[in-house]
Amino acid sequence: MNSGECATRYPLLMVHGMGFRDRKHLNYWGRIPAKLIRRGAKVFYGGQDSAGSVGDNAARLAKSLEAALESSGAEKVNIIAHSKGGLEARLLASMGYADRIASISTINTPHNGSLTVDRLMRLPRPLIKLAARLTDLWMKLLGDECPDSMSCFELFTTAAAERFNAENPVPEGVLCQSFAFKLKNARGDLTMLIPYLVVKRFDGENDGLLSERAVRWARFRGVYTSASGRGISHPDEVDIRRMRFSRKPPANDHEIADITDFYIRLVSELKSKGL
């Protein structure tokens, strides 16, 4: 039944992060789009390469944005972007598309770079290039047209992030907000155990990849975690497990029992603002 609580004025453009692609039968966003659509939202996807450079992907997003506007008949879109996708959405706004974007909401996007990546980039250059080539090969097999993992690795450093922020300020006239998530301990998501511990050492509490410091941007909405004892990992933020975190009710607004509840609330807020 369509309750209409997510029937925003402008359609949603959901922009994925690095590591996966938009696929019809293995949706990057899990149950989230279906729940939003059931409540009245119109949902479109970025469709960009997973490991493409931010510049190339922003150009691809421009085409997706234009297609969404043509299909919906709307004048603007609301962008919801996860991880690296948030940087691509910001660059898209800087490319002259800000007047066609009503809002940008980023979910654990490395706006300020990673202190952990700073350390990793001190490894021997041939080793880093090998890791980038192997990542590119894998992503090409998965469908990327022009993967460029090395440019992504470099952009995730704090120095590159500082330059990116200077060149791509918060766009005027666009509602911009950022959200952080975190695990409560290393056992919260065993697939992220090692990166969680490494990032915690260099950058503090994190979601297995990024800390609060790394993801703060524009209007920062705070740090969210699960109502259960596990917390929320980077993959959990896009519903990779397709299930609730807990049957336990949240104790406050920054605890979540089901990640889909977070997105429903986010989109409902956009509707309430007339977006």
- What's the CA gap between 139 and 143, in Å, rounded? 6
User: Which of 94, 74, 89, 66 shows the shortest CA–CA distance to 166?
Assistant: 94
Give the CATH fold of the 12-112+161-182+211-272 domain: Rossmann fold (3.40.50)
In this predicted model, what pLDDT tens digit does every residue of 132-183 receive, in sequence order? 999 989 988 888 898 999 999 999 999 999 999 999 999 999 999 999 999 9
- Say which DSSP state 169 is in: P
What pLDDT was estimated at residue 1? 57
What pLDDT was estimated at residue 236? 95
What proportion of the chain, given as a percentage, has pLDDT over 70?
99
Q: Is 52 left (phi over 0), alpha (psi -120 to 50) or beta?
A: beta
Question: Token pair for residue 264?
Answer: 């429903």
Please answer whether residues 71 and 106 qualify as being in contact, where contact means their C-beta atoms are separated by less than 8 angstroms: no
Which of the pair, 21 or 226, is modelled with greater confidence?
A: 226
In this predicted model, what pLDDT tens digit does every residue of 177-186 receive, in sequence order? 999 999 999 9
How long, in residues, is the chain? 275
Q: What mean pLDDT value characterizes the chain? A: 94
**pTM for this one?**
0.94
Please answer whether residues 111 and 87 qualify as being in contact, where contact means their C-beta atoms are separated by less than 8 angstroms: yes
- What's the CA gap between 137 and 150, in Å, rounded? 12
Residue 147, amino acid: P
Domain locations in the chain as residue ranges: 12-112+161-182+211-272
In this predicted model, what pLDDT tens digit does every residue of 206-226 receive, in sequence order? 999 999 999 999 999 999 999
- What's the CA gap between 105 and 89, in Å, rounded? 9
